Structure 1
């Protein structure tokens, strides 16, 4: 039993050996040149995302020197980019920290239900362009669901509150721009007692009729709001977006192609992306707790009880996962980028294909703008809620009973939990202990230096090259995967209807 729980040995991530890194390194300059050829250029925050990704995890850009106090074995730990767009390594670290924070400090001790709201394709593009309207739409959605929960618990909004943590996902399974919301709601309402305590009243799972009414109310209210602010216009028969047309905005073109599953760059611009069908079409019906109308889809079939923290953490990791999976990325023998869908579509589609240049465009469309918070807290979990310190295990927020420091000049200062360290993330998710020396297997390693000077970096790496001449050999692209066998029932098509 002990052998199966033994801590794994840390091995440095080498991004230069991954297919994603090599695709970006090789084709990102071509992508920028293609845009310049049309008189366009990427926004600064998008360029910074790509530039920092190419520096992430590379020893040539700086590192920490870590040495074992016992056996003096030394290793180098490279810096990371810490970006939110498409870096799988940094996305995995953020996933681990977000899940741990939500489970340990916020949601622990309560039954939680996941509500997932998908939007019509036109609204995905609109909310990607207008972050402020995204926040307004989220307030409408939360107000509708929380009011339903509070009323079902037998209270009014003045008597009790619900709470939710919403994570905004900007990507779909096919690397398409797909803004949708994963909302972790309390399965009940919290009311405050006369003596200052709180009482949690649990509710039953929503019925299909409840879901239909909710999604109808949400879609109607969002449409009303967007029409009020002038972003949606209606005539006698149709509704359409009122987006300003700007030929200089290259990101709008990339986002528009991504959200509609079309090719953004190259001679086939505007056509549907190539898809691969290797499975027969599915005839299964919809989920029981799913309702849809006018392109809006609301699902609430995933639930975790208060005594299931491991299930809740798996759910939190899933909804905060990185945008791209390197395990599902490959190349064809004809130089196409092939990406496997996480879950096959109903018509049996399992893969999508991109030209390398268009693939870079798909990555650019997924990058969130700066200062856009992708994790939001509502209700009793909101930062300004008077109940937050009472209902969360970390007791963070207003009127926190935990003092910042004994004898502090501000004894009522709220308590703020520190972010998990990189070592804690590795230990929690992968059972890897960076503080343990892989040579003598003792917990006695120390950071002795932070190396950022380019001349010192070159000297150290040259010394390592002489000491280990095979460690820095140039690597080629990973071996190409063979295409599916001919006897498989598949069909490559362009005119696939991805639906809403």
Structure 2
């Protein structure tokens, strides 16, 4: 029995989704948001994307016992509680997305990246170009491609390795500190180049100015080629000394600093907003969102009307199937698949003098098993959700309940059923119900990982 079972006073307590200020704001004001969208928001945000009402419908049902649950019982004393199904929504539902964040950190550090130095890069574009990406989300894929090509050219030129391969994980962020539309890229990048023979050439200390210029020229050329950027504006952006294109990097992260690598991997796929930063005025519905100091307004908060807040956060929900995380070079799905099928053979080659070279030809990355719901709760809260709060015995999942009649009968017996008047209508039938977003993971959740504890008493 692990150390968690010795913590009798540290019992996992259920979350109550309806107590969240986010749930309350959306439940009370989303219909108003929909009714006023065409007049108030369409000119700024474009047509209402079908994925928005679909995601909201799933979110409002997340953790709702009336939508189904698992029964969890203690084998020693018979104590039982119900474990509500979750929506599994990524990039919006704070609870469900946090599970993906934790899994992604473990997946990246355990299965994808190699034991070589890495850096965290941020690549940003000028404010005047943001609208192009706002109304054409497919351009975000092209932005990633130009970022990868810029990094590839920069590293190959610096190391004089024309056949070198970078290892790069790119995450698309569409949000700023206060949920404004601010498209930029976060990248976890191996600090050098791999060769087919399994050697890694470490990038020496070097200025990022050439990389910044490569990125600027490539993005401008891409927008011109697509007929979006007029020649005059392109020349203007190329002539400005401070053009608004920025490439920033972090300090080098060594392979031994695995906790830092995992933290950065989690950071680059964080949710666009944080419930902890929200304060909801119950009388007016206004939302105060506190974050970093806004240099423009000289304050560390913004006040939103409820519908403005909903508009701000829902604009960052990705369309179905759109991948917000992309893998390039040595870390691409194709490259990883090929390495799984063949043994790396180290061949003799001329090694440039003065460069640090790491042999990774025999590195075997482990497979990260799927994290169970119990283990994720332990990782976050350091308490065990399957330790009985009454006797400290071991609890087990004994049944999955998803039939409406049985759900109602059990909840009525427990006094947990609520009568609803004017229930919210489901999203249109033309909108598919599956939510499949990146990051993709090598192993799926077991079924019981998709539940949240709602009642533990």
| Residue in 1 that maps onto 2:94 | 88
Q: Indicate the SS of the match to 1:463.
A: helix
Structure 1 stretch displaced more, 15-24 or 168-177: 168-177
Distance in 2, Cα, partners of 1:427 & 1:416? 21
| Residue in 1 that maps onto 2:375 | 424
Shift, 1:228, TM fit: 0.9
Q: Pick from 143, 146, 155: which aligns with 2:149?
A: 143
Q: Indicate the SS of the match to 1:102.
A: helix
Shift, 1:417, TM fit: 5.5
Q: Pick from 223, 229, 247: which aligns with 2:226?
A: 229
Deviations 1:328-371 (Å, cap 9, x if unpaired)?
11135765311012455376321111111211111221111111
Shift, 1:111, TM fit: 1.5
| Residue in 1 that maps onto 2:349 | none
2:63 is equivalent to residue 66 of structure 1: no
Provide the TM-score with structure 2 as the length reference.
0.77
- In the TM superposition, what are the counterparts of 1:48-447 in structure 2 within 5 Å? 48-156=54-162, 158=163, 160-193=164-197, 198-206=198-206, 210-235=207-232, 293-332=242-281, 335-345=285-295, 348-385=298-335, 390=339, 397-399=340-342, 419-442=370-393, 444-447=394-397
Query: Is the CA contact (8 Å cut-off) linking 1:108 and 1:309 kept in structure 2?
Result: no
Shift, 1:223, TM fit: 0.8
Distance in 2, Cα, partners of 1:205 & 1:358? 45
**Consecutive unaligned residues in structure 1, runs of 5 or more:** 241-291, 391-396, 402-413, 475-500
- Residues 75 and 150 from structure 1, CA distance in 2 versus in 1: closer, same or farther, beyond 3 angstroms? farther
Query: Is the CA contact (8 Å cut-off) linking 1:381 and 1:388 kept in structure 2?
Result: no
- Residues 109 and 115 from structure 1, CA distance in 2 versus in 1: closer, same or farther, beyond 3 angstroms? same
Deviations 1:61-99 (Å, cap 9, x if unpaired)?
111111222322212111111222421111211111111
Distance in 2, Cα, partners of 1:39 & 1:114? 35
Q: Which has the higher contact order (CA 8 A, sep 6+)?
A: 2
Distance in 2, Cα, partners of 1:446 & 1:116? 44
Provide the TM-score with structure 1 as the length reference.
0.70
Shift, 1:37, TM fit: 6.8
- Residues 347 and 363 from structure 1, CA distance in 2 versus in 1: closer, same or farther, beyond 3 angstroms? closer
| Residue in 2 that maps onto 1:31 | 33
| Residue in 1 that maps onto 2:406 | 456
Distance in 1, Cα, partners of 2:6 & 2:292? 29
How many residues get paired? 389
- Residues 450 and 83 from structure 1, CA distance in 2 versus in 1: closer, same or farther, beyond 3 angstroms? same
Distance in 2, Cα, partners of 1:184 & 1:379? 12
Distance in 1, Cα, partners of 2:101 & 2:6? 23
Deviations 1:303-333 (Å, cap 9, x if unpaired)?
3211011111122222221121111111357
- Residues 119 and 38 from structure 1, CA distance in 2 versus in 1: closer, same or farther, beyond 3 angstroms? closer
| Residue in 2 that maps onto 1:18 | 20
**Structure with greater proportional helix content:** 2
Distance in 1, Cα, partners of 2:78 & 2:277? 39
- Residues 53 and 120 from structure 1, CA distance in 2 versus in 1: closer, same or farther, beyond 3 angstroms? same
Q: Indicate the SS of the match to 1:183.
A: strand
CA RMSD of aligned residues (A): 3.2
Query: Is the CA contact (8 Å cut-off) linking 1:66 and 1:75 kept in structure 2?
Result: yes
Deviations 1:178-217 (Å, cap 9, x if unpaired)?
2211100001222233xxxx122222344xxx32221122
Distance in 1, Cα, partners of 2:236 & 2:57? 40
Q: Indicate the SS of the match to 1:338.
A: strand
Structure 1 stretch displaced more, 341-350 or 370-379: 341-350
- Residues 313 and 14 from structure 1, CA distance in 2 versus in 1: closer, same or farther, beyond 3 angstroms? same
Q: Indicate the SS of the match to 2:397.
A: strand
Q: Indicate the SS of the match to 1:352.
A: strand
Shift, 1:112, TM fit: 1.2
Query: Is the CA contact (8 Å cut-off) linking 2:25 and 2:285 kept in structure 1?
Result: no
Q: Indicate the SS of the match to 1:84.
A: coil
| Residue in 2 that maps onto 1:9 | 11
Distance in 1, Cα, partners of 2:384 & 2:316? 32
Shift, 1:388, TM fit: 6.0
Shift, 1:300, TM fit: 0.3
Query: Is the CA contact (8 Å cut-off) linking 1:113 and 1:186 kept in structure 2?
Result: yes
| Residue in 2 that maps onto 1:42 | 48
Distance in 2, Cα, partners of 1:10 & 1:473? 29
Shift, 1:438, TM fit: 3.2
- Residues 11 and 3 from structure 1, CA distance in 2 versus in 1: closer, same or farther, beyond 3 angstroms? closer
Distance in 2, Cα, partners of 1:302 & 1:377? 21
Query: Is the CA contact (8 Å cut-off) linking 1:49 and 1:85 kept in structure 2?
Result: no
Shift, 1:51, TM fit: 0.6
